[in-house]
Amino acid sequence: GASGSGKTTALDLLCGFYEPDHGHILVNGKELALLDLALWRQAIGFVPQEVFLFNDTVRENILVGRNFSDADIWAALEAAGGKDFVRALPEGLEASVGENGRMLSGGQRQRIAIARAIIHKPKILLLDEATSALDKDTEQVLLNTLHHLSKDMIVIFASHNESVMDFADVVYKVQGGRIEKTGREFFQRKTGL
């Protein structure tokens, strides 16, 4: 959908930040509003449109106060496609990213944000315009990473970028606050048919 069409609002509704004015959000047939929102949010990893990194180390930007082992951090970085660039940093996990990640490229910041979102092994990964600030080559690498992650979790990617559709199994168009299925479905990747 285009800018301002409601993509971010749809993701916020899925997170349970807001309740819909009309209609219902169902999770396995149950109304989201009736679920334990704390448990629901634990099942979600979220990468916002504007990635914020603290003026701290790679490690602390992934952990953000949570307690995970180095093995967990490296596994999240590998899944997010960031292990190689972090290993190449002179201080590795202890490398400072600078104020809001200024010491890193846009793609590297995105990978740290994805590692942060997936370290707790969510069932659903929500991404809001995660490729909007990336060049085409970096975007392709990130989309390949997300395609790989979709084998272990549901990945919901909100974007106005049409190249993202090539990586999607199902595409919905958001227009004027309405979500419509486009008819583009790619079940072959998931089912092997």
pTM of the model: 0.84
Mean pLDDT of 5-30: 88
Res 162 pLDDT > 90? no
pLDDT value of position 191: 30
SS (H, E, C) 60-86: HHHHCCCCCCHHHHHHHHHHCCCHHHH
Q: What average pLDDT is seen over the chain?
A: 86
CA distance 26 to 34: 10
In Å, the largest CA–CA distance within the chain is 53
SS3 state at 130:
coil
